Amino acid sequence: MSGPSLLQGLCILLSLSGVMIQKANCACPPCPQNAVCVDGTNCTCNSGYTSQSGKKYFTYPLEICQDTDECKPPISVYCGLNAECQNVPGSFYCQCEPGYKLLSGNTQFKNSNENTCQNITSSSTTKGNKELQRVVENFESLLTNTTLWESGEEREVASKATSILQTMESNVLETALNAPDQEIQKLQNNTVGPSAVVFISYSSLGNIINATFFDGINEEDQVYLNSQVVSAAIGPKRNTSLSRPVILSFQHVKVKPLSKKAFCVFWKSTGEDSHWSRDGCFLVQVNKSHTTCRCTHLSSFAVLMAFTSQEKDPALAVITYVGLSLSLLCLLLAALTFLLCKAIQNTSTSLHLHLSLCLFLAHLLFLTAIDRTENKVLCAIIAGALHYLYLASFTWMLLEGLHLFLTARNLTVVNYSSVSRFMKWLMFPVGYGVPAVIVAISAASRPHLYGTREHCWLHLKQGFIWGFLGPVCVIICVNLVFFLLVLWLLKKKFSSLNSEVSTIQNTRMLTLKAAALVLILGCTWCLGILQVGPAQRVMGYLFTIINSLQGVFIFLVYCLLSQQVRKWFGNIMKPKSESETYTLSSRFGPDSKHSADK
C-alpha cells in the first residue's frame, strides 16, 4: 500500500500542532521537492536551494525549496577577469566571456583559481576563417546543385535556404567575434565582451528564393527580385531588439523604370513556412538604380519589383470615368421612367427597374470608393458591397432571360397572367436573396480576402475571385440558352403565321431588347477575360468602353426606342397650353362630331 502510514500522518499532525515527538516513535515526514530527510524527523533543502521560510530544518510538508542564485548578492561568486558567473538550478558555473577561452579547452569552471581565460589568438582566427571558407564552399556547391533545388517542393526549398542563411550568419558572427583585434569594453564594474555587426551578400541565392516566395501582392502583378540577398546580424546576442530602425540601401540588379513598384522585404521563417515578408520593412526612397529601406529588425533582406501585367493607361481611366458618369445619368433617367410612366408598367418593367437600380448603385460605389484602401475594414466593406451589387445586377439579368423565355413559350395560349404571377413570386427572393447568400458564404469563409492593396475588390488569392466569376459565368451561359430557345420558339411561331401577328411582333421586339441586354452585360465580361496575348490592348479598350456605357444602352433600348415612352416624354415636354388645346380638340374634334351626328 503506497502513501504515508497512519503513524506518519499522526506525526505530521502533531508536528503541525507544536507537540514534541520522540523520533523513536515517528518515521521521517514526507519532504518537498529538492529536499531530503535528516535525523528521521526533519527535512532540509538540498545544496544550492534555500527554504522559502528561511529555516534550515523544517517538518512542514508544503515548504518550498527555491534555487539559490549564487551569481547575485549576497553570494556573488567571483569568477575572475574576462569571465562571468552563470546560475543553473541548484548550482552555478563560470565561463569565459566572448572572445576568450580556457587554455584547457574546457567551457566551464567553478573557482576563480581555475580561471585561465585568454584572448583568442590569431591562430584561432585562422582556424575560424578556414571553417568559414569551408562553409562558403559547401554553400556554393549547394547552389550549383540544380537537381537538389528543382526536384524539391517549394516548402522544402525554403527550409533548405533558411538553414543555409542561419548557418552562414552563425559562422560569420563567430569568426568576427573571435578576431584578434577585438577590444574588451568595460562599463563601470561590469566587464562586457566583444560584439560584432556583420553583413553577408549573396550573389546567386536570389535565383533560388526568388519572388515566387512572396505573397504580399495581387496575383496579376508580375514580381521579380531586383537586388542581391543581404543578411545583417549583431552578435553575440542575435535577438537584440533595435532601439531605432536600420536604414539599408540596395543597388538594383536591373535598372528600374519609375513606373514600377518597389517592395522592401525580409526572409521570414515561422516553423515550417519560410517566405519573403514586408512586416516591419518600409520603403523610404527609390530611383532607377537604388532602393532605400527602413526596417525595425535585422534579418536577410532584399528588394522586390512589381509591375502589373496590364499597365495603367490614362486613356482607359478617362474612358472609365466619363462612361460611368454618363451611365449613372442614363440609369437614373431610366429608373425614373420605369417608375413614372404608367403606360409601360408591368412585370418586365419591374425587372428593368431593379436591374437599373442595382447597376446604378454598383457603378456609383465603384466610381467613388474602389480606391479607398487606406482603412482595411472600410475597404473590405466596400468590396463586399460591390460584390453584392454586381452579383445582384447579373441575377436580375438572369430573371430578364427567364421572363423572356416564359413569355415566348406562352405565345400559343397568350397566357401572360400566369407568367406575371410566377415572376412576381420569384423575382424578389432570387434577385436580392441569392446574391446575399453567396456574399454571406464568401464573407464567412474568408473575410480577409475582401480588399487588396490596390483596390477594394475581391482578392485573387486562393481562387476567391470565383465567388464572383463563377455565378457570373453560369448566368451568362443560362441566358445564352434562354436566348437560343426564344429564337427557336419564334421561328416555330413564324412558320404558322396567323392573325396574332401583332402579338408576335411585340414579342420579337422584346427578344431584340433582351438580346441587347445579354450582349451589354455578358459580352463585356467575356472581353475582360480575353485580355491576353496580342489582342490584350484592343480587348481592354472594348471592355472598358462597353462596360462603362451599360446604363446608356439600357436607357436607349428600353426607353428611347419605346413608342409609349417617347409619347409620354412628348406629353411632358409640351407646354401646358398646347397640351390643353390638344385635349380639347381631341374631345370636340371630328370624331366627337361624328359621334354626335350618330
Q: How far apart are CA 331 and CA 550, in angstroms?
A: 9
Q: How far apart are CA 391 and CA 264, in angstroms?
A: 37
CATH number at residue 479: 1.20.1070.10
Residues 13 and 156 in one domain: no
Residues 477 and 400 in one domain: yes
Are 447 and 367 contacting, i.e. CB atoms less than 8 angstroms apart?
no
Q: Which domain holds residue 352?
A: 315-561
Residues 387 and 437 in one domain: yes
Q: How far apart are CA 427 and CA 284, in angstroms?
A: 54
Nearest in space to 282 (alpha carbons), one of 269, 267, 292, 274: 292
Paired residues of 275 in beta bridges = 268
Q: How far apart are CA 228 and CA 146, in angstroms?
A: 19
Residues 299 and 333 in one domain: no
DSSP codes, 454-468: S-SSB--GGGTTHHH
Paired residues of 293 in beta bridges = 248, 283
Boundary (domain end) residue, out of 308, 338, 357: 308
pLDDT of residue 401: 81
pLDDT of residue 151: 61
In a domain, 439, yes or no: yes
CATH number at residue 42: 2.10.25.10
C-alpha gyration radius of the chain: 42
Torsion of CA 353, 355, 361, 362, to 10 degrees: -170
Torsion of CA 226, 227, 229, 231, to 10 degrees: -140
**Amino acid, single-letter form, for residue 465:** I
pLDDT beneath 50: ranges in the chain:
1-25, 122-123, 184-191, 309-310, 412, 414, 499, 577-598
Alpha helix (H) residue ranges in 115-184: 122-144, 146-151, 154-177
Residues 363 and 380 in one domain: yes
| Residue 261, phi then psi, degrees to nearest 5 | -105, 145
pLDDT of residue 515: 59
Are 115 and 106 contacting, i.e. CB atoms less than 8 angstroms apart?
no
Residues 302 and 327 in one domain: no
Quick one: which H or E segment has residue 44? strand 42-45
In a domain, 585, yes or no: no
Are 162 and 269 contacting, i.e. CB atoms less than 8 angstroms apart?
yes
Q: Which residue has the cell 577577469?
A: 81
**How do the residues of the chain divide into helix, strand and coil, expressed in percent and rounded to 5?**
55, 15, 30
Residues 501 and 386 in one domain: yes
**Amino acid, single-letter form, for residue 533:** G
Say which residues have a Cβ less than 8 Å from residue 132's Cβ, sequence separation at least 6. 171, 172, 175
Residues 403 and 516 in one domain: yes
In a domain, 110, yes or no: no
Alpha helix (H) residue ranges in 412-500: 416-428, 434-445, 466-495
CATH number at residue 145: 2.60.220.50
Residues 267 and 146 in one domain: yes
In a domain, 405, yes or no: yes
Residues 379 and 490 in one domain: yes
pLDDT of residue 357: 93
Are 359 and 387 contacting, i.e. CB atoms less than 8 angstroms apart?
no
Q: Is 55 left (phi over 0), alpha (psi -120 to 50) or beta?
A: beta
pLDDT of residue 597: 42
Our count of domains for the chain comes to 3
Tell me how crowded residue 213 is: count the other CB atoms within 10 A of its CB.
22
Cβ burial, residue 48 (10 Å; 0-12/13-18/19+): middle
In a domain, 582, yes or no: no
| Residue 288, phi then psi, degrees to nearest 5 | -70, -30
| Residue 573, phi then psi, degrees to nearest 5 | -80, -20
**Amino acid, single-letter form, for residue 453:** R
Residues 261 and 336 in one domain: no
In a domain, 427, yes or no: yes
C-alpha distances (whole Å) from 241 to each of 167, 238, 244, 296, 398 are: 21, 9, 9, 9, 59
8-state DSSP, 214:
B
Boundary (domain end) residue, out of 25, 45, 67: 67
Residues 274 and 410 in one domain: no
Boundary (domain end) residue, out of 258, 275, 308: 308
pLDDT of residue 217: 58
pLDDT tens-digit map of 74-110: 888 889 888 999 999 989 999 998 878 888 888 899 8
Cell numbers describing residue 441: 458564404
Q: How far apart are CA 115 and CA 108, in angstroms?
A: 9
In a domain, 111, yes or no: no
Q: How far apart are CA 438 and CA 436, in angstroms?
A: 6
Q: Which residue has the cell 515561422?
A: 270
Q: How far apart are CA 263 and CA 277, in angstroms?
A: 9
The distance of Cα 90 from the centroid of its chain, to the nearest Å, equals 49
What is the pTM assigned to this prediction?
Answer: 0.51
In a domain, 114, yes or no: no
Are 39 and 26 contacting, i.e. CB atoms less than 8 angstroms apart?
no
